[in-house]
Amino acid sequence: MEDMMSGTDAPLSDERVDVEVHERETVYRGAVWDVVRESFHLPEAGGRLTRDVLAHTGAVAVAAIDDEDRILLIRQYRHPIRMRDWEIPAGLRDIDGEDPATAAARELGEEADVRAADWHTLADMYTTPGGSTEIIRIYLARGIDALPHAQRIEREGEERGIVVRWTPLAEAVDAVLAGRIGNATACLAILHADRARARGWTDLRPVDALWPGSRD
């Protein structure tokens, strides 16, 4: 059935839109991210709109799968939700000029003391598109081995309490579907990894796939 809104039955794909921004100011400057206020023209809205936007650096995350089809999960304390939740290794893109895949490999080593030989792009996620610029890219990492002790770092802050757990992928899927894991990035990674495994790890995107929204 033809799409009633767009008038096309083309494959589903998000559409980049270049709107005319009339004004932009930083209304709050934070330790990690800022809030900016933008006034812009959107044709279908019939005029100018103003929105406050959390200006985020973006982030990377890693679904590390070992030879036994187990996924690496980490548990750490997250103050905004007052919980120690199960996640996958992840971190901000906060080093100028650092390639996102390099950042992902760094985070995997820093948070879990492992490295990987085989990398692919697994999934991309706009965490809160109605209020934040944050985009998270999730990489699939295989060919796992321990990071040499000389390359390991001493964790600080909440990361000092990280617990690492290798979990059978099927068990992780069950935990997501039962609502026992609520971290959105971990949930997406687990379900994507399970689907990729069912396909025999074929049709994976390259590690250097275009960042979402990029033109080249």
Q: Extract the tokens encoding 18.
A: 């270049």
Span 88-107, pLDDT tens digits = 999 999 899 999 999 999 99
User: Residue 122: exposed, middle, or buried by beta-carbon count in 10 A (0-12, 13-18, 19+)?
Assistant: buried
Q: Extract the tokens encoding 93.
A: 């893109």
CATH of domain 59-198: 3.90.79.10
Identify whether 159 is a catalytic site residue.
yes
How far is the C-alpha of 120 from the C-alpha of 209, rounded, in Å? 9
The boundaries of every CATH 3.90.79.10 domain in the chain are 59-198
Span 38-94, pLDDT tens digits = 999 998 888 899 999 999 999 999 999 999 999 999 999 999 999 999 999 999 998
Q: Give the rounded percent of residues in the chain with a pLDDT score beyond 70.
A: 95
How far is the C-alpha of 80 from the C-alpha of 23, rounded, in Å? 31
Q: Which residue in the list 156, 158, 159, 171 is annotated as catalytic?
A: 159
pLDDT band at 1 (very low <50, low <70, confident <90, very high): very low
Q: Extract the tokens encoding 198.
A: 């069912």
